[in-house]
Structure 1
Amino acid sequence: MNENAIEGRNAVLEAFRAGKTVDKLYVQEGLKDGPILSIVREAKKQGSHILYSDKESLNRMSEDGKHQGVIAMVASYSYAELGDILASAREKGEDPFLILLDGIEDPYNLGAIIRTANQVGAHGVIINKNRAVGLTASVARTSAGALNYTPVAKVTNMARTIEELKKEGFWFVAADMDGEEMYSLNLKGPLGLVIGNEGKGVSELVRKKCDFTARIPMLGQIDSLNASVAAGVLAYEVLRQRRS
């Protein structure tokens, strides 16, 4: 059972009404009675990702099989608003630096990246609402406290978010093994560093929205790095350039 899971109709409904942030709501297929419809309505109001699953799948997720057709995955920390992150950078008189994660699914990668973001002075981390890990307890532990200082915003459409941030003067660089060597790029100014999914990398749509791609030079026999390691290497190059 996931440590951030709440199951059972009353418990899930009360979680919504108490204002808890529900990243994902799993609902048993075919259930449309009053309590289920009330829960789904609350989920839509909050913007939670709703997934319909068969009973056997929910049984496997459940601790004791008493889920009553609904399981909610609750965030351990609250999400920030993107506008507030930008406002904080302006108040500090700094060029905003954001790390955008396009489909990171491993909680340990997300936690490690948030920790790195804090160390390099990034103003915030942006994650996908769907098909990505949220702010679970595992993420919080791996971040080693960084979640208390580095805000994380959740967006529905990463490509559209990039378009909107470009209007604010941002440039975007995506991590890509076929990109330009990172040392040859100018990574100063308002910048968004985009890190892709552990297996697929940055999606084609998001990559096309970026202004350039960055490659980490590697001399070994394998041709890729763990997502959190790649994020750390690139983020520290951004920090080096911003301090020079």
Structure 2
Amino acid sequence: MTQIVTGFHAIEEKVRRALDSGKIDGLSIQLAKTGPRIKKILESAKRAGIPVINADKNALDSLVKVLPEVARDHRGIVMVVEGAPEKSENDVDFDSWIASSKTLENEKQTVIVLDSVTDPHNVGAIIRSCDQFGASLVVMPARHSANDFSDNEIIARSSAGASSYVPVSVVTNLVRAVQQLKDAGFWVYGADAGGENVTKLNFPAKTCIVMGSEGKGIARLLEEQCDSIVSIPTCGKIDSLNVSVAAGVLLYEVYRQKI
């Protein structure tokens, strides 16, 4: 398949990976204008050996028509990936991941479960935090979630390219997945208002955080699997944080305790 990549961060990450791996097959950059940020990308692309093709704005507009509207703002540069795999390298099989996790009894691991988080901007922002704070895996449901092709470019842009690195598993049954995590030695914490103050907790080496949907929170059957409900102390006039902001705060607290 052919993948069209827009957004400075996402293109920079593709170029960086090409530099690290030496693999540039199928990669090219189409360029309609330059600027300080684009010049830096082109310098890295030249070092990697990625072809750069001069084009006009109309040509780039035509390329990005296949993308969701929010991802069509190419700002004068587009990366084309010919022969891109249907599944990315960091799209991991959950059962295989659990099996390998069981062999790492003393290793610090953090898993974040997204229960019906449907806004791809939120998913991308959470994945970015997962990269920054060392999360081992993101788990999302196959249904009622931002994980299909139409969302991929938005997630890539919102994650600033981190979606190319952070391991992600899409599962058919979140309750079963959380049960498997518990069997593998993870303690499971659901994020919701009215729970235990997160600053009072000592997170174990194997920690799983469950984030609920933007509107309804954590589903009842999934909440019943949680060992504890945790909350972030706040002082604002509205009643809750955005799910991606809350996930970032919780991931940082787990990371802070483990370093």
TM class, shorter-length: 0.5 to 0.7
SS of the aligned residue for 1:172 comes to strand
Q: Is there any run of 5+ residues in structure 1 with no aligned partner, and where?
A: 5-18, 23-74
Q: Does 1:117 find its partner at 2:130?
A: yes
Q: State the Cα distance separating 1:3 from its structure 2 match.
A: 2.4
Give the root-mean-square deviation of aligned CA atoms: 2.6
Deviation at 1:124, TM superposition (A): 1.2
Query: Which residue pairs with 1:81 in the alignment?
Result: 93
Deviation at 1:184, TM superposition (A): 1.3
1:160 to 173, 176, 179: 176
Q: TM-score, normalised by structure 2?
A: 0.62
Return the offset for 1:21: 8.6
Q: TM-score scaled to structure 1, two decimals? A: 0.66
Letter paired with 1:197 = S
In the alignment, the residues of structure 2 paired with residue 162 and residue 129 of structure 1 have an alpha-carbon distance, to the nearest angstrom, of 15
The answer (yes or no) to whether the contact 2:106–2:205 under 8 Å persists in 1 is no
DSSP-derived class of the 1:183 partner: helix
Q: Secondary structure at the match of 1:122?
A: coil
Q: Paired residue for 1:95?
A: 108
Shift of 1:2: 7.1
Residues 80-122 of structure 1 deviation map (CA, whole Å, 9 limit, x = unaligned): 1124545379679622211110000000000000010010000
Q: Which residue is 2:215 aligned to?
A: 199
Q: Is 2:162 the partner of 1:146?
A: yes
Q: Which residue of 2 aligns with 1:182?
A: 198
What pairs with 1:56-71 in structure 2 (closer than 5 Å)? Answer: none
Aligned to 1:9: none
1:26-56 Cα offsets, whole Å, 9 max, x none, are xxxxxxxxxxxxxxxxxxxxxxxxxxxxxxx
SS at match of 1:217: coil
Match in the other structure for 1:3:
67
Contact 1:103 1:127 in 2 (8 A): yes
Where does the alignment leave 5 or more consecutive residues of structure 2 unmatched?
1-64, 69-82
Distance between the aligned counterparts of 1:229 and 1:222, measured in 2? 14
User: Are the equivalent residues in 2 in contact too, given 1:85–1:123 (CA < 8 A)?
Assistant: no
Partners of 2:102 and 2:159 in 1: how far apart?
21
Q: Aligned to 1:239, what secondary structure does the other structure show?
A: helix
What is the CA-CA distance between 1:223 and the residue it aligns to? 1.2
Q: What is the rounded CA distance, in whole Å, between the counterparts of 1:200 and 1:207 in structure 2? A: 12
SS of the aligned residue for 1:161 comes to: helix
